[in-house]
Structures are given as structure tokens and as C-alpha cells.
Amino acid sequence: MSHAAPARGTTGRSHPASHHPALSRASIGWPLLLAVLYGCWGATMQRDAGPITWRNVLFGIGSGLVVGVLAFVLHKGMTPAIPREARAAVWAVFGGAIFGYLHSLSGASILRCVGLGLALGVAVFVSVFYRYYTKEPAPEGSQR
């Protein structure tokens, strides 16, 4: 069997690439950027103004890798079938926890770390819920 070649300037796909978020630049790019920033920040916080050691570098690479993989997995696992509130809450817990942990490396009190983690978690919840609410179509049978 032979098939017609796609017309010039087309990719031959029957649907846009946005239906495959695993292949998009954003679905890989922003977890990668988060991993690099988190790893650098973690290595700097653990160093505590001392000399750069292999321990600091390995901590930064490890923590960045863990955060990047978790962000990618959460991004891929969060389908529109899950309620907006639950997805926003998961991102809020993730953001608050990773921020609170890194702030704890600075030697701050546990109350301050938890308070800042909660504050960031609330901000993440509000912003992510707003994005989901305004950018996604309403679920079947609901009114907006």
C-alpha cells in the first residue's frame, strides 16, 4: 500500500502536537528549569558561605533531580479528570514543601519554615486554581 506524502509545510499529523504534552517543550522545559534552579539554590544553602565541596555539588544535583522528576511526574499525572481543587492542592503541597525544606537549610526556626511553606503553598494554590479555572473548559453538567 502506498500513502500520499504530506503537502509542503505540513507535518503529516492528523492532530496538533498540543494533544501530546509529553512531547512539548514546556512539559520537559519547566521541570528541567525548576530542577536546575532548585539544585543551585539547595547547594548554595547547604554550603552556608563555606567553600564549595563535592558534598554541596552532589546535594544540589540530587535535590534538583528529585524535584525535577517529581514535577514532571506530577505534571504528567494530573489529568483534567481530576477535580481542579485537588490538582491545585497537590501543586500547593509540592511547592510549599520544597520551599519549606530549602528554607530549613538556612538554619531558620521550624515555625518560620512551616509558615513560609504554608504561605507559598496558599499562593501556589490560588494561582494554579485560577489558571485551571480560566483555561480549561467546564466539566460536563456544570455551570460557570
Per-residue CA distances from 48 to 9, 53, 86, 131, 143 (Å): 54, 11, 37, 37, 52
Query: Which residue from 119, 117, 118, 90 is spatially nearest to 104, judged by alpha carbons?
Result: 117
Q: What's the pLDDT score for residue 20?
A: 47
Q: What's the pLDDT score for residue 2?
A: 63
Q: What's the pLDDT score for residue 4?
A: 63
pTM: 0.76
* Residue where the block lists cell 517529581: 70
Q: What's the pLDDT score for residue 137?
A: 75
Q: What's the pLDDT score for residue 15?
A: 46
**Taking the chain (144 residues) in consecutive chunks of 10 residues, what is each chunk's mean pLDDT?**
60 49 72 93 84 90 95 86 91 95 91 96 96 81 60
